[in-house]
Amino acid sequence: MDTGYGYHAELIQRHIELVPGYAAVREALTSDIDVGSDTLREVLGAAATFAEERLVPMNIAGDRQGCRLEEGRVRMPDAYKPVWAELAGNGWNSVDQPTRFGGQGLPAFVNAGCRELFDRACMAVGMLTGPTRAGTLVLLEFADETLQQEWIPKFVSGQWSATICISEADAGSDVGRIRTRAVRGEDGAWMVTGEKMWTSFGDNDLVERIGHLMLARTPDAPAGSAGLSLFLVPSNVRDGVGNWVSNGVTPRRIEEKLGLHGSPTCAMGFENSRAYLLGEVNRGLPQMFVMIQSMRLMVAIEGVGISFGAEQTALRYAADRRQGGASSRPPVTINSHADIQRQLLSMAARVEVLRALVYELAVRIDAERTGVATTAAHANVTQWLLPIVKASCAEAAFDVPNAAIQVLGGAGYTQEWPCEQWLRDARMMSIAEGSTGIQALDLVHRRLLKDGGRTLSHFIETVYREVSSADRSLAEPAVNVIERLKNAGATLLSWAGQPRDIEAGAVAFLHLSMLACTAWMAVRIAHGESNDAIGRRLAAAGRFWLHDLDARAAFHEAEILRGAERLGEFQNI
């Protein structure tokens, strides 16, 4: 049984090649960018080797040592610096970055594959690379050429990094209450003052400069989120003789967290810090969504990587651990017990349908960037998938390690096995970049109600086109779930003007949408024609996921249709 990183890379490649849009994206790329099977195998294989040989040992050391704040600077675990130098030096920070800034220019789905391997090995370091990649996207969209030329090559090389710096003590998801101020100095430059929190890698000693991408309020700005502007705030600036000096940016503290001990989560202070306005005044929030959407996909990739690692650990353990059977005979391996088989199949099925969904989304994004897909319907489906993929993979990242620990028993609760760290690290994923509840409200308000159900219709049409050609035994459960989703969507649309009823069922609608998405993916992977070990695994996962799908969908549909009625007892608790 191969449960290593090489096998992991092969699974990722199979998923990419199963996505219908992959071939068109591959053909649309310039002649000097090749993402055919041989190149994918080479890139993902090298990423798997780096993850297993360099990131895994770094992760273990970093989790145990943690980060520390000394003399006003965040010091990273000792094992990080040499590995970070290798990661950046070997180009892993530049996979899908623009070639004109020193990147490799490969599609996002290649970067997603590498990230999945790296996140399984060390999710903490992804909390540095992810925001930096997202920072490049923001600068490409909203910065002038001078700022792009100064910052993006440094992001690509790993010499500088970026943060997403939004939250404040009384303004988390409610960003309209942000109080950080940006004013013009005497020389006309913007100066930012305020306090931010929950900033991953808000400071670190791996890079020489950090660009904080933040929301702040300018003088006379409108109240609420409409009055926010987007700024790039450097951690340091050059003095008159060329030395780096502080830009009034100070890490106040490192949060003591349940997990991710190798990723410093900082409270940050900004005092008259020189800043660069990005884009237009008072357009900060929609502009920031370029970064936030990239980060949400990043969380989904992390979730699949961690879930797969935990599932594979449980699978390997169950094949070796002997317990039970007839007392007159030697004990049997626990994977021969029906309940263990149920648990292992459940984990594997969840991992594979979510992985299929991640690469469907990544390839769709590449199709839009390369001009392969230009229709509004395609863009609508991509936007529909984003909150679903983020929330469902984040939840799996906690649930699957939790299930794996159950299979391992007492051993799973110890540091001898990696599942306990994955459980700790993953818990933040359904909170960060918008909690599950926020993703549900986003799906309902911005994707369903805003256009009267048009985006949902485009999604349903897309799914029907693919599953209609599948065997009836596979297509029927998927169609049943889609019909339940269509019915639930129509009900929510009919409740326009009844926000409490709509929002009481928003998370259930998110979960029903996830079942519809994964039904689509389950049909795809179960219908594959390969009869090798990977093909058999994917087919088994798809079939198992579909077998009780309608019952689970019926439960979520009932939750949605009850509206706020089931909350009537709240005042009595």
pLDDT, tens only, 494-513 = 999 999 999 999 999 999 99
Q: Where are the domains of the chain?
A: 5-157, 161-283, 435-567
CA angle 12, 18, 21 (to 5 degrees): 110
Q: What is the pLDDT of residues 214-240, one digit of tens each?
A: 999 999 999 999 999 999 999 999 998
The CATH T-level fold of domain 161-283 is Butyryl-CoA Dehydrogenase, subunit A; domain 2 (2.40.110)
Which one-letter amino acid corresponds to residue 340?
A: I
CA distances (Å), origin 449, targets 285, 480, 486, 489, 492? 20, 23, 13, 9, 8
- Asked whether residue 2 carries a pLDDT value surpassing 80, the answer given is no
3-state class of 528 per DSSP?
coil
Beta-strand relationship, 209-217 and 160-165: parallel
**Residue of 234, 211, 251, 244 lying closest to 68 (CA atoms):** 251
17 as an active site residue: the answer is no
Structure tokens at 122: 């060390």
Mean pLDDT of the region 533-537 = 96
Q: What is the pLDDT of residues 393-441, one digit of tens each?
A: 999 999 999 999 999 999 999 999 999 999 999 999 999 888 999 999 9
User: What pLDDT does 325 receive?
Assistant: 87
CATH 1.10.540.10 is held by the domain 5-157: yes
- Asked whether residue 1 carries a pLDDT value surpassing 80, the answer given is no
What mean pLDDT value characterizes the chain?
95
Distant-in-sequence, close-in-space partners of 374: CB < 8 Å, separation ≥ 6: 368
Q: Which of 10, 302, 433, 559 is catalytic?
A: 433
Mean pLDDT of the region 370-391 = 96
- Asked whether residue 3 carries a pLDDT value surpassing 80, the answer given is no
- Asked whether residue 321 carries a pLDDT value surpassing 80, the answer given is yes
Q: Given pLDDT bands bounded at 50, 70 and 90, which one contains residue 10?
A: very high
Q: Given pLDDT bands bounded at 50, 70 and 90, which one contains residue 102?
A: very high
Q: Given pLDDT bands bounded at 50, 70 and 90, which one contains residue 44?
A: very high
- Asked whether residue 527 carries a pLDDT value surpassing 70, the answer given is yes
The answer to whether 455 and 379 have CB atoms below 8 angstroms apart is no
